[in-house]
């Protein structure tokens, strides 16, 4: 799906960057073509500054989105979820990042979280990047306590795991 969305903006690198930001942040586009997060409007100048384009590129992107029924449905309904990853150091949480070989393989989240739960470690949040929207999707698991080394070894031994990282 990500590739299909980006293909619609193949002729405009600036618009592609705006679309990428909207998808990454879970920003939607309202009836008036304004970028919003929930009911909060995000100024086009802020979006433009973030991706390094003129605000008119943001205007053109949101207009193109509203003119395309498929894009309109996606960007009218997308939303963001709060993440504990950036707060982990402040809240003394552990962030496990799992890099996988094939992200669309079934059971990745279940197997990883089962190994953690089997050690009686509380999971505060999991975030699974969608392979349709990210080139190299990862699984993030935020826990209340540090993960022991033997668990990391067990996770690394799973056939779909390429690499694990701790923060």
What are the sequence ranges of the domains in the chain?
Answer: 2-77, 88-166
pTM of the model: 0.76
Residues 63-105 pLDDT 10s: 999 999 999 999 999 988 888 998 999 999 999 999 999 888 8
Could you tell me the strand order of the sheet in which 40-41 lies?
A: 28-29, 35-37, 40-41
Q: What are phi and psi of 141, to 5 degrees?
A: -125, 120
Q: What angle do CA 49, 70, 103 make, to 5 degrees?
A: 75
Q: What is the mean pLDDT of residues 95-123?
A: 94
* Cα 85 to the center of its chain, rounded Å: 12
Residue 127 exposed, middle or buried by CB count within 10 Å (0-12, 13-18, 19+):
middle
Of the pLDDT bands very low, low, confident and very high (cuts 50, 70, 90), residue 3 is: confident
pLDDT in tens, 22-70: 998 999 999 999 999 998 999 999 999 999 999 999 999 999 999 999 9
pLDDT band, very low/low/confident/very high, at 12 (cuts 50, 70, 90): very high
Quote the pLDDT of residue 135. Answer: 76
Fold of 88-166: Alpha-Beta Plaits (3.30.70)
């Amino acid at each position: 799906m990500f590739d299909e969305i980006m293909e619609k903006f193949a002729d405009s690198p600036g618009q592609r960057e705006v679309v990428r930001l909207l998808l990454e942040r879970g920003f939607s586009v309202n009836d008036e073509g304004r970028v919003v997060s929930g009911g909060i409007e995000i100024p086009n100048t802020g979006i433009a500054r973030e991706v390094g384009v003129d605000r008119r590129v943001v205007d053109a992107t949101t207009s193109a989105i509203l003119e395309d029924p498929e894009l309109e449905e996606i960007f009218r309904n997308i939303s963001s979820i709060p993440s504990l990853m950036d707060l982990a150091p402040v809240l003394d949480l552990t962030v496990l990042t799992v890099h996988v070989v094939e992200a669309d393989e079934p059971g990745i989240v279940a197997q990883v979280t089962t190994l953690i739960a089997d050690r009686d470690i509380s999971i505060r949040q999991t975030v699974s990047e969608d392979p349709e929207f990210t080139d190299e999707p990862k699984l993030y698991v935020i826990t209340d306590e540090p993960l022991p080394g033997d668990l990391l070894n067990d996770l690394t031994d799973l056939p779909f795991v390429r690499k694990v990282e701790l923060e």
